[in-house]
Amino acid sequence: MVRRSVTAALIAAGAVMLAAAPMQVDARAPRSSPARTPTVTFTAAAMRHLVATASLAVSRDPLFLTAVVDPLVASSGGSVGVTLVELGGATPITWSYGGSGVFVAASTYKLAALMMEAQGIASGATDPNGLVCFQDSDYEDGWYTDYADGACYTRNELAYRAGHDSDNTAGHMLVRDVGGADALNAWAASYGAVDSVFFTDNTTTADDLASLWSAEATGKLGGAAAQAWLYPLLTDTETESGIPAGVGATTVVHKTGTIDAVDNDAALVVSGPNGAYVLTVMTDGLGGDAGWQLIATISSDVWAFEAARAAR
């Protein structure tokens, strides 16, 4: 159980903001006077975030998460959707900030395809060592360049490429293997992803991705056998600067997606302070480091909220 004093939490929150917030420092002093202590000026948004973040130390109300995230989004200039689903704790909660907003899915469509494959493998209907052969229509520029007519790959190999490395051609081949986009979207909708059009329009929501992760984590998509195949593919991936960067020393199973100014991360945090939880963050209009930094900050704030809830 995590226990933090209010004073310690305020100090920690202040330290984080001093490191991250825009500031102006006036270190100049008249020659005849002793050196003065530098003056630090926070932006209004940074001050609101500091106060709201400190409140997480003493509040277990999810409305405080809204108070934390709102100024972050406002100052970012982008569009953001966030969904949190607690899977542990005495009274699990679900919290959403723009979670029903539709975003470009980018490579998060591969999460749905991988979960569908995992369910088939767990049931015995699909052989993980079975071969899927490349077709010209599968190709999209990505991590690997060894695709050629007649080349065949095991589902295990394609899943690693699509999950760990987010290779695009491997993702296309997996979608075709599970029956195509229509089959994938029908399957996803049956587990709560009702506003998503994966792969074709390739749109989704934070709520939909959280629904899929919740179904997976609670054993509805093949249970332990599916998880044993899927989770290693999505742990310690090539992109760890989003949700994993904002949590403590715990396993984060996740799938990212990025294209142009879109950065997304959909994760299961296996052992949070208050038990396992699902966190999905969608962003648009930031891109590059700004998108990942915002996702990591939101992830850190959610971790602090979970620690406060665990300290009851």
**Cβ–Cβ < 8 Å for 77, 285:** yes
Model pLDDT, residue 81: 98
Residues forming CATH 3.40.710.10 domain(s) in the chain: 59-310
Query: Top-level CATH class of 59-310?
Result: alpha beta
Task: State the DSSP string of 164-181.
Answer: TS--HHHHHHHHHHTT-H
**Cβ–Cβ < 8 Å for 262, 287:** yes
Q: Which residues pair with 282 in a beta bridge?
A: 81, 264
- Tell me the two tokens of residue 57: 């130390």
Burial zone of 144 (CB within 10 Å; 0-12 exposed, 13-18 middle, 19+ buried):
middle
Beta-carbon contacts of 171 under 8 Å, excluding residues fewer than 6 positions away, are 107, 109, 110, 113, 140, 162
Instruction: In whole angstroms, give the CA distance from residue 41 to residue 23.
Output: 5
- Tell me the two tokens of residue 216: 């997976």
- Tell me the two tokens of residue 264: 């997304």
Instruction: In whole angstroms, give the CA distance from residue 265 to residue 81.
Output: 11
SS3 content of the chain, % helix, strand, coil (to 5): 45, 20, 35
- Spell out the per-residue pLDDT of the chain, length 312, in tens: 333 333 233 333 433 333 333 322 223 233 333 333 333 333 444 444 554 555 544 456 888 899 999 999 999 999 999 999 999 888 999 999 999 999 999 999 999 999 999 999 999 999 999 999 999 999 999 999 999 998 999 999 999 999 999 999 999 999 999 999 999 999 999 999 999 999 999 999 999 999 999 999 999 999 999 999 999 999 999 999 999 999 988 999 999 999 999 999 999 999 999 999 999 999 999 977 999 999 999 999 999 999 988 887
Nearest to 44 by CA among 83, 17, 82: 17
Model pLDDT, residue 287: 72
Instruction: In whole angstroms, give the CA distance from residue 53 to residue 312.
Output: 18
3-class secondary structure, 192: coil
Count of alpha carbons within 13 Å of 166, Cβ hemisphere only?
A: 20
Task: State the DSSP string of 5-59.
Answer: -HHHHHHHHHHHHHHHS---EE----TTSPPPPPEE---HHHHHHHHHHHHTTT-
Long-range contacts of 213-216 (CB under 8 A, 24+ apart): 213/85, 213/266, 213/267, 213/268, 213/278, 213/280, 214/85, 214/87, 214/278, 215/191, 216/115, 216/118, 216/268
Instruction: In whole angstroms, give the CA distance from residue 158 to residue 146.
Output: 12
